[in-house]
Amino acid sequence: RETVALAREHGVAVGAHPGFPDPEGFGRRELQFSPADVEDFVAYQVGVLAAIAASQGVRLQHVKPHGALFNMAVRDGELADAIARAAAAIDRELILFGLPGSEIVAAGRRAGLRTASEGFADRAYRADGTLVPRQQEGAVIRDAATVIPRVIRMARDHMVEAIDGTSVPLAVDTICVHGDTPGAADLAARIRAALRDAGVEVMAVGRRIAAFHAGVPVAHVEAG
């Protein structure tokens, strides 16, 4: 409730970040649930936040699966469909976030939701456009001097350098900075300033999608 109130005060859009019911593993362990169970716990988590937001006069803007659920649903269409159905059941105006070209984005479109393709400021990519697993060395990028030019390239050129040095096409609508990356708040502020200096306007992703169709270069930065 306090976070939603702060977001409302500062004009920041609010989204839900549902994941596996796994607080011990911070939602980053791959667990096996049926699509029906995934649909239930995603609907529950999104619905709870939607109710809290409504009590503050705020409507949720988006849904982004968290951690292992996100990475599994990138490649598993049944899990992705379960997430999309749950989001649509709560509010058909929600925007579903997913990796570009992923099953999540496809599932959102099948469910009649708007979708947003997401890039990761502080995570390394493989040559196929998926994220390097966190267990692998170099998966999390902590150096702001490396992160910031990567983000500008994502937003302006729709490209990212993979961990093997290859350039990977990556058309993104939104940029994630993980909240548990050391110095995340300062990093997000520096990214925003750097994007502005590069001529990229930062705005809520709902406005960004509308602006995209008008040909305006913009980016959405969100904390995950």
pLDDT grade, residue 202 (50/70/90)?
confident
Asked whether the predicted pLDDT for residue 34 surpasses 60, the reply is yes
pLDDT at 92 over 70: yes
Is the pLDDT score of 71 beyond 70? yes
Residue 62 to residue 114: CA distance in whole angstroms: 9
What is the value of pTM for the model shown? 0.87
Confidence of residue 27 (pLDDT cuts 50, 70, 90): confident
Average pLDDT over residues 9-36: 93
Radius of gyration of the chain (CA): 17
* DSSP states along 34-98: -HHHHHHHHHHHHHHHHHHHHHTT----EE---HHHHHHHHH-HHHHHHHHHHHHHH-TTPEEEE
Share of the chain above pLDDT 90, in %: 74
Average pLDDT, the chain: 90
Whole-number pLDDT of residue 224: 54
pLDDT tens-digit readout, 106-130: 999 999 999 999 999 999 999 999 9
Q: For 31, list phi and psi in degrees, rounded to 5.
A: -110, 160
Confidence band for 205, pLDDT divided at 50, 70 and 90: confident
Give the up-direction half-sphere exposure of residue 203: CA atoms within 13 A in the CB hemisphere: 13
